[in-house]
Amino acid sequence: MSHGPSPAQQTSWDARAAANFICGGAGAGLIAFTALARVDGEALTLLTLAGLGLVAAGLLCVWHEIGRPLRALHVFFHPRTSWMSREAFVATLLFPAGLAAAARVPGFAWVAGVLALTFAVCQGRMLQSARGIPAWRQPLVAPLLVVTALVEGGGLLLVASPWIRASQALLASFAGLVLLRVIVWLAYRGALGATLAPRALAALDAAGRALQLAGTFVPLLLVLLVAAGWSDGTAASAALALAGIAAAASGGYMKHALIMRAGFTQGFALAHLPVRGIGS
């Protein structure tokens, strides 16, 4: 049942659309965080290419979702009104800028980082613009996806900690974003209250528990131990990699739950029910 008085799960976006948010957000976050961390040399090349690969994988999933793939060019026709069109335009700029950054052309790491952050903003606003889905139209969903993209990017960067220097500033930035993500999540979940369909609320609450435990407590604890000098060398690299994987994986799980399991329509909402014999 797709239409009617009761909330129904949307069927327009499937796992391939969710993959665009998961892969695209993580890839954009990795490119942005690579620029923020001032990574250089071969690590800059590999991390930027990895970020572009994730963004490309997400866009490829969306392209595959379209029944007639050649119609994908229509996405460029509505940049004034569609965040999906804006995402597509930003992506066309992000790839050449990212390749230039990977080739270590001076200044392009920052250009790619800004474009990647803009790509993540477009994704967040694109989800928020789906007015028929209460879990998506909540205004805090856009900043939640942007911060999650940065946390995922920082997490993937920490996975590469054996090959890059994880400075105290990098660890502090990552920890701050992890804290900010859970704060935005709690505010988002509180703003929703109990207004959603029960299955949507159950999916979000399960994702929230994973986000708070595996995505916040575990990474913060591991980063704190490393920053305090309780481990070094291989043990520190392994701890940071685990922290990064936990932060990134929990973000991906949250986005999958948000799109695939919490995407219920509102159903009919009648503020006043008519009663026979009584005027309005």
Query: What residue ranges define each of the domains in the chain, with the CATH number in brackets?
Result: 15-261 (1.20.1630.10)
* Choice among 57-71, 110-124, 200-214, 242-256 with the minimum mean pLDDT: 57-71
Q: Say what the alpha-carbon torsion angle 51, 54, 59, 64 is, to the nearest 10 degrees.
A: 160
- Give me the phi and psi of 42, to 5 degrees please: -65, -35
Residues 208 and 136: their CA atoms lie apart, in Å, by: 15
User: 192-231 pLDDT, tens per residue?
Assistant: 988 888 999 999 999 999 999 999 999 999 999 998 888 7
The pLDDT tens digits of the residues spanning 59-107 come to 988 877 665 656 666 666 667 778 888 998 999 999 999 999 999 999 9
Beta bridge partners of 264: 9
User: How many angstroms separate the Cα of 36 from the Cα of each of 19, 31, 243, 265?
Assistant: 25, 9, 19, 38
Question: What does DSSP assign to residue 259?
Answer: I
Mean pLDDT of the chain, nearest integer:
88
Regarding predicted confidence, which is higher, 183 or 63?
183
Q: State how far the Cα of 238 lies from the Cα of 224, in Å rounded to an integer.
A: 14
Tokens of 65: 């979702």
Task: Return the pLDDT at 100.
Answer: 97
State yes or no: pLDDT of 39 exceeds 80.
Answer: yes
Burial of 228 (0-12, 13-18, 19+ CB in 10 A): exposed
Q: How far apart are the C-alpha atoms of 166 and 43, rounded to whole Å? A: 12
Out of 47-51, 79-83, 149-153, 226-230, which region has the weakest mean confidence (pLDDT)? 79-83
